[in-house]
């Protein structure tokens, strides 16, 4: 089946299967707000204070905690957050900096803190092998050694990742470098450069979050009926009447999003998960599976002051939502001359791969549902051993078929990879960059290439539909000398 055909038909049909039958949803479920939409200003996560006075070092403190947040209507919803009630501050560092963190767990459950997209030593990766017990803290230390990128952080405890992310534990992690500094693009945080964390949620009538309520929530993934941007329903963002940079994160548990603008305007994608593309790519929509990021540039110079388009999000499965609106202000004093060439990437070559590994993502297998290569996650088992300093090709197939066909989203810890092809066809231009998470549709085989360098140790690979991950759709690879 063609990629676009699946997204337009099968996901829509799946949406009817999941959301059209009340038996699959907790009752009653809160609907979207009946108040005036697009009047609440979009909250921009604060930049986390660097506690170090040494320019070569960045020192940060994060606390995972419970709280209450006004996510929808008049309700105060019990939530979780980092250094606050919901979501967390944005961490910003530079390539080459040493990073020291203190992570305190004030929850009543164990948690972890994973740096999604970061190339770090295995003992500081923050996966399920680095649990933080309630009332204790963890002090990871690492040196940034990768290009400018929009990454993120979230918990990764065995069996609890989905619930903790759903409750609000997530935040953005920016890397800057000299190349990013030199580009004539918007880069003033909260002025012309904005983070947009897009999530869908489901609520009970009392305003509490309705997490997994049925086996359908597990198998198809948890699909919400209310969209939040930076933890707010139907926000409005004031932007300058010129070029604006939006850093998009699909921070949902399971939903795939097709994101564009209500007037169908064209924009430029300049970066993917692991950093800048070589050239800007003109698009009218961007497709993001859970965990994926994209940076886009949008031109508001032609909009009437005070009026702007809506950000339109198609849930796959699900429906179309106007997630937020933009209110256009005066033209900025600074203009931008976007170059045709952003960066020069050092491409990995197939001829340098020492091994090709195959992975099948199975909705059902002989060992049970939601498996990779017929196996479920076992902390005592190493699934793959990779030699340090080598390049490998991983062939990942989505074998789900029939009524239970569903997409999967593969994430590799530690490395940024390249997509070689999908069913033998070259990737689309917006995928020709550094990636750490890749969408794989039913019937697709995606080949990726990665180099495993600098660090030995045990890392994870898994489906980033979090309910799938928590039910065992995850494995471990060890990088060895």
User: pLDDT digit string (tens) for 461-477?
Assistant: 999 999 999 999 999 99
Whether the per-residue pLDDT at 18 is higher than 60: the answer is no
* Exposed / middle / buried, residue 145 (Cβ in 10 Å: 0-12, 13-18, 19+): middle
Whether the per-residue pLDDT at 191 is higher than 70: the answer is yes
DSSP 7: I
Q: What pLDDT shows up at residue 6? A: 46
Mean pLDDT, the chain, whole residue set: 92
3-state secondary structure of 229: strand
Q: What pLDDT shows up at residue 25? A: 41
Q: What pLDDT shows up at residue 29? A: 62
Q: What pLDDT shows up at residue 363? A: 81
pLDDT tens digits, one per residue of 373-382: 999 999 999 9
Q: What pLDDT shows up at residue 351? A: 98
How much is the average pLDDT of 6-13? 42
Q: What pLDDT shows up at residue 22? A: 30
Q: Which CATH superfamily is domain 3-23+185-328 in?
A: Cupredoxins -  blue copper proteins (2.60.40.420)
Q: Which of 368, 388, 369, 379 is nearest to 457 (CA)?
A: 388
CA dist 173 and 149 (Å) reads 8
CA dist 413 and 218 (Å) reads 23
How much is the average pLDDT of 71-76? 88
What fold, for 350-480?
Answer: Immunoglobulin-like (2.60.40)
Alpha helices in 332-403 (DSSP H): none
CA neighbours closer than 13 Å in the CB half-sphere of residue 77:
26
Whether the per-residue pLDDT at 27 is higher than 50: the answer is no
Q: Which CATH class is domain 40-180?
A: mainly beta
Least confident of 324-333, 354-363, 400-409: 400-409
3-state secondary structure of 472: coil
List CB contacts of 467: < 8 A, sequence separation 6 or more: 162, 212, 217, 218, 221, 222, 253, 254
3-state secondary structure of 231: coil
pLDDT tens digits, one per residue of 96-132: 999 999 999 999 999 999 999 999 999 999 999 999 9
CA dist 434 and 50 (Å) reads 27
Q: In the sheet where 320-328 sits, what is the strand order? A: 40-41, 235-239, 320-328, 310-316, 256-261, 285-288
> Are 103 and 423 contacting, i.e. CB atoms less than 8 angstroms apart?
no
Whether the per-residue pLDDT at 7 is higher than 90: the answer is no
Q: Which residue has the tokens 């990995």?
A: 348
CA dist 128 and 145 (Å) reads 23
Whether the per-residue pLDDT at 16 is higher than 50: the answer is no
List CB contacts of 352: < 8 A, sequence separation 6 or more: 391
How much is the average pLDDT of 154-164? 98
> Are 275 and 148 contacting, i.e. CB atoms less than 8 angstroms apart?
yes
Least confident of 6-10, 159-163, 332-336: 6-10
Domain boundaries, the chain: 3-23+185-328, 40-180, 350-480
Same CATH topology for 3-23+185-328 and 40-180? Answer: yes
Say how many C-beta atoms besides its own lie within 10 A of residue 426's C-beta: 11
More confident residue, 194 or 364: 194
352 falls in which pLDDT band (50, 70, 90)? very high
How much is the average pLDDT of 379-389? 99
């Amino acid at each position: 089946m063609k990629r676009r055909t699946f997204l337009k038909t099968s996901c829509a049909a799946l949406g009817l299967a999941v959301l059209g039958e009340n038996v699959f949803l907790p009752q009653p479920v809160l609907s979207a707000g009946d108040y005036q939409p697009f009047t609440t200003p979009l909250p921009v996560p604060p930049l986390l204070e660097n506690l170090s006075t040494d320019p070569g070092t960045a020192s940060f403190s994060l606390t995972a905690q419970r709280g209450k947040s006004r996510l929808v209507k008049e309700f105060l919803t019990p939530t979780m957050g980092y250094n606050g009630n919901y979501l967390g501050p944005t961490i910003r560092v530079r390539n080459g900096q040493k990073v020291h963190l203190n992570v305190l767990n004030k929850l009543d459950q164990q948690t972890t803190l994973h740096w999604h997209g970061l190339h770090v030593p295995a003992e500081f990766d923050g996966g399920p092998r680095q649990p933080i017990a309630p009332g204790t803290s963890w002090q990871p230390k690492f040196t940034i050694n990768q290009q400018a990128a929009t990454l993120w952080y979230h918990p990764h405890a065995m069996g609890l990742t989905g619930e903790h992310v759903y409750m609000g534990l997530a935040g953005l992690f920016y890397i800057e470098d000299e190349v990013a500094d030199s580009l004539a693009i918007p880069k003033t945080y909260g002025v012309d450069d904005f983070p947009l964390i897009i999530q869908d949620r489901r609520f009970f009538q009392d305003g509490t979050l309705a997490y997994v309520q049925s086996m359908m929530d597990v198998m198809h993934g948890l699909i919400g009926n209310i969209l939040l941007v930076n933890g707010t329903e139907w926000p409005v963002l004031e932007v300058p009447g010129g070029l604006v940079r939006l850093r998009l994160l699909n921070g949902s548990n399971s939903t795939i999003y097709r994101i564009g603008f209500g007037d169908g305007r064209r924009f430029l994608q300049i970066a993917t998960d692991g950093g800048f593309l070589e050239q800007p790519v003109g698009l009218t929509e961007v497709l993001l599976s859970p965990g994926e990021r994209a940076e886009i540039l949008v031109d508001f110079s032609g909009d009437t002051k005070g009026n702007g388009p809506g950000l339109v999000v198609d849930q796959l499965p699900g429906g179309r939502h106007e997630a937020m609106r933009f209110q256009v202000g005066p033209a900025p004093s600074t203009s931008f001359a976007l170059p045709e060439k952003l960066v020069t990437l050092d491409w990995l070559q197939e001829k340098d791969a020492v091994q090709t590994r195959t992975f099948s993502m199975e909705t059902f297998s002989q060992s049970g549902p939601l498996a990779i290569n017929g196996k479920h996650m076992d902390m005592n088992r190493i699934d793959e051993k990779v030699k340090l300093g080598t390049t490998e090709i991983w062939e990942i197939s989505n074998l789900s078929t029939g009524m239970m066909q569903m997409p999967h989203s593969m994430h590799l810890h530690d490395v940024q990879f390249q997509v070689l092809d999908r069913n033998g066809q070259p990737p689309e231009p917006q995928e020709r960059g550094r990636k750490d998470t890749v969408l794989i549709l039913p019937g697709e085989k995606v080949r990726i290439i990665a180099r495993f360098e600098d660090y030995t140790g045990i890392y994870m690979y898994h489906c980033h539909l979090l309910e799938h991950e928590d039910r065992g759709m995850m494995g471990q690879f060890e990088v060895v000398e």
